[in-house]
Amino acid sequence: MSQGQEPPKKRFPLTLDLVTGTADRKRSSAAPRLNSLQTATRNAAKHAPESKVVASPTASARPLNTPAVTKLAPTVIQPRSTNSPLVSDAVRKAMIQRLAQQGIKDAKVLAAMEAVPRHMFIEPGLASQAYIDASLPIGYHQTISQPYIVARMIEVLRDGIEGKMSRVLEIGTGCGYQAAVLAQVAEQVYSIERIRPLHEQARNNLRSLLIPNLRLHYGDGMLGLPQVGSFDGIILAAAGMEVPQALLDQMAIGGRLAAPVGTKNQELRLIRRVRRNEWTTETLERCHFVPLRPGTFG
Ligand code: SAH
C-alpha cells in the first residue's frame, strides 16, 4: 500500500478476495495505484506522540540496558487451535501465494512465513485481519509490520543462500512476529525492543511457540548487542535518519543489514560489509516504518 493511501474498507467476515489480495488486484485494473511500496507502520506513525527522529545515533549512546533476556524453550511451531477459518492454514497459504505474486521468490522465506501463525501476534479483536497485507496496531503507537515487508527484508538479508544464516539481530521486536519468522531461517536470532511492555508482550506471544533459537532483549537497539559478537544479518524494524554506527560495526565481514532510512520519505537500504572498514549501500524501494528512537521506555 502506498504512503498516504487509506487501506480498503473491510467488511466482516472478510472475503477470500480481501485476504488474498485479489480484491486489490481487481481494483487496480479499474483505478491505477502507485506501486505497492508502503511497508510497515503508517497507522502508528500517524498517532505517535513523539515526532522527533534521532539524527545522530551516537549522541544518545548510553550503556545497554539488558536486564531481561528471555530464552525460549525448544519445540516446533504449533499454532493454538482455533475455530475461525480466517486463521486457518488455508488463509495463511493464501498469504503465501500473495507474497509470491508480490515478488518474493526465496522458497525458504515463503516457507518461514507459512510456518509462523501471524494471528497469534495480534490482539484477538484484530486477529481476523492477521493475514491481510497491512500493518496493524500492537499498542504503544507501534505496529506489526505488513507481511510483504517482513518477507522482503528477510529475503534481501538471506541473499538466496542455501542453508541458514548463522547469527541475526533484529532491532524492534514489537510483538515478536518478525523475530519468529527470522528464527526459521537463522541458527540464532537476537531481537531487541526498547518499550518494556512490548518486550513482555512479545515474550508472551512467543511463549507457546517455544522457539529455542530466539533470544529477546529489552534495551536500546541502536547500540546493538556488542557482547554477543558479530552478526551475519541485521534487520531494523524502525527507521532512523541513518544506520547507527554501532550496528555497522557489529556486522560480520560479508554480513548484510536491511534498514528503512528517513523520516517521511523513507527508503529501504541494503548495506553489505565488504571489508573491515568498507560498507556498500544499495537503495531498494520506498517504505514506511515507525521511527527508530534512542533509549528505553517503561
Ligand atoms: N518487528 C516487528 C515490528 C515492530 S514495529 C514486527 O514483527 O512486526 C518497530 C519496533 O521498533 C517498535 O516496537 C519500536 O518500539 C521499536 N524500536 C524503535 N526504536 C528502537 C530502538 N532504538 N531499540 C529497540 N527497539 C526500537
pLDDT tops 60 at residue 292: yes
Higher per-residue confidence, 27 vs 244: 244
pLDDT at 160: 85
Place of cell 519445540: 75
pLDDT at 99: 98
C-alpha 158, offset from chain centre: 14
Rounded average pLDDT over 124-143: 95
| pLDDT one-digit tens code per residue, 55-92 | 222 222 223 333 344 444 433 454 444 445 445 789 99
pLDDT at 57: 27
Q: What is the DSSP string of 16-75?
A: HHHHHTHHHHHHHHHS----S---S-HHHHHH-S-----S-GGGG--------EEEPPP-
Three-state DSSP class for residue 128: helix
54 bridge partner residues: none
What letter would DSSP give residue 3? T
Ligand 1 proximity of 292 Cβ (cutoff 6 Å): yes
Supply the residue whose CA is at minimum distance from atom 16 of ligand 1.
172
Higher per-residue confidence, 41 vs 226: 226
Residue whose CB lies within 8 A of the most ligand 1 atoms, among 193, 241, 243, for a mutation test: 193
Residues 284, 24: Cα–Cα separation, whole Å: 23
| pLDDT one-digit tens code per residue, 197-243 | 999 999 999 999 999 999 999 999 999 999 999 999 999 999 999 99
Ligand 1 proximity of 222 Cβ (cutoff 6 Å): yes
pLDDT tops 50 at residue 42: no
List the catalytic residues.
145
Report in angstroms the alpha-carbon separations of 48 from 43, 55, 178, 280.
Answer: 9, 18, 21, 32
Ligand 1 proximity of 243 Cβ (cutoff 6 Å): no
**Residue 237 alpha carbon, nearest atom of ligand 1:** 9
pLDDT tops 80 at residue 124: yes
Cα(266) to ligand 1 centroid in Å equals: 16
Ligand 1 proximity of 296 Cβ (cutoff 6 Å): no
pLDDT at 84: 55
What letter would DSSP give residue 133? S
Ligand 1 proximity of 191 Cβ (cutoff 6 Å): no
pLDDT tops 90 at residue 30: no
Rounded to the nearest integer, the mean pLDDT of the chain is: 79
Rounded average pLDDT over 25-36: 32
Cα(192) to ligand 1 centroid in Å equals: 8
Strand 251-261 versus strand 231-236 pairing type? parallel
Rounded average pLDDT over 167-188: 98
pLDDT at 94: 96
Nearest to residue 66, comparing CAs of 226, 243, 234? Answer: 226
Ligand 1 proximity of 133 Cβ (cutoff 6 Å): no
Task: Please list the alpha-helical segments (H only) found in the chain.
Answer: 16-20, 22-30, 42-47, 89-101, 107-115, 147-158, 177-185, 196-207, 245-249
Higher per-residue confidence, 101 vs 90: 101
Higher per-residue confidence, 276 vs 2: 276
Cα(31) to ligand 1 centroid in Å equals: 34
Burial class (CB in 10 A: 0-12, 13-18, 19+), 114: middle
Rounded average pLDDT over 262-287: 97
